[in-house]
Amino acid sequence: MREPLLVPVGQYLGPVHAGPGRPPRHHLVRIGWDTVALADGVEADLWSLAHGRPDIVGLLPATRSTLDAVAAEVGVLGTEDAVTRMLAAGVLAEVPVGSPRAEQFAAGHRWHSLLTGLAEGPGGMGVGLLGAPPLRELTPPAFEVWTWAQLFPDLLTAAAALVRGVATPGSDLATTDPDAALTTLLDSLPELTCVRAGWIDIVPGAR
């Protein structure tokens, strides 16, 4: 059985320094209309790492065990309590792909795309800032999620719509199986969040 995905939730609004020369008081993450303050240090570092680190090849943190491995690699220690706190605060979510809990997560969360689309490169469609090198060349499924998922009120509806044929023919998302489409969508998230190509919010009223 697969280990659950560990998904970061929320719109990052950065550190807040209370005054000149002072360390960050906290880091702001907005979820719905709420704001969550992440403690500077292990908590903020872990939440950032949970988005993925494309520069650490082979250790794209999509699960708790890969997050632990990446955290150890970059020297972030004492992760267990911080992960537990962030799961409770809703800024991290464990999603057992292929289970009813995955559908529940997808029905209660939605996608917001960031960045702009650039030229197609050898690794896929580039996304980033116009006039600058792409931050990442996305695989076809990730590019389709980036392009389309933001149009739908939640991830479950987005996956269902992709099944109905809005996805590019021949892509991994062009399937007739809603469960398979949702799994592909969820599996694409780390590729997108690792370069902050978007973020996941709660559906209004879902919290």
Partner 1 sequence: MTAPGGVLLALGWQAGPADADGGVVVWLADRPCTLTAAEHQVWSLSLGRPDGTGPTTAGDVVATAGLPAGEVGRLLDGLAARGLVLTGPDLVSLAPRVRLVCIADGWGNTAEQPAAFTYGIGSRPLVRLPRFLYEAVATAHRWPDLQQAATGSAEVFAVTAPHLAEATDPAVLLSRLLDALPALCSTHTAHLAPAAVRPGGPA
Residue from 112, 164, 165, 177 in contact with partner 1 (CB under 8 A): 112
5 binds partner 1 (CB under 8 A): no
**CB atoms closer than 10 angstroms to residue 164:** 10
Q: What are phi and psi of 114, to 5 degrees?
A: -120, 175
Closest distance of CB 26 from partner 1, Å? 10
178 is an interface residue for partner 1 by CB under 8 A: no
Closest separation between CB of residue 27 and partner 1, Å?
7
The interface with partner 1 within residues 124-143 (CB under 8 A) comprises 125, 128-130, 132, 135
Alpha carbon 11 to chain centroid, angstroms: 10
Among residues 5, 91, 118, 173, which is the contact residue for partner 1, using CB under 8 A?
Answer: 118
> What are the DSSP E strand ranges found in the chain?
5-8, 11-17, 24-31, 34-38, 92-95, 109-113, 116-121, 124-128, 136-138, 198-202
C-alpha 159/C-alpha 153 separation (Å) is 11
Distance CA 174, CA 120 (A): 20
Looking at beta carbons only, is 68 or 191 nearer to partner 1? 191
Beta carbon of residue 196, minimum distance to partner 1 (angstroms, whole number) = 5
Spatial CA neighbour of 206 closest among 34, 29, 12 = 34
22 is an interface residue for partner 1 by CB under 8 A? yes
How far is CA 151 from its chain centroid?
17
Given the complex with partner 1, which of 15 and 96 has the nearer CB atom? 15
Restricted to residues 25-84, the positions that interact with partner 1 (CB under 8 A) are 27-28, 30, 33
Contacts of 1 (CB under 8 A, 6+ apart): none
Question: Least distance to partner 1 from the beta carbon of 168, Å?
Answer: 12
The binding site for partner 1 (CB under 8 A) comprises 11-24, 27-28, 30, 33, 112-120, 125, 128-130, 132, 135, 147, 151, 195-196, 204
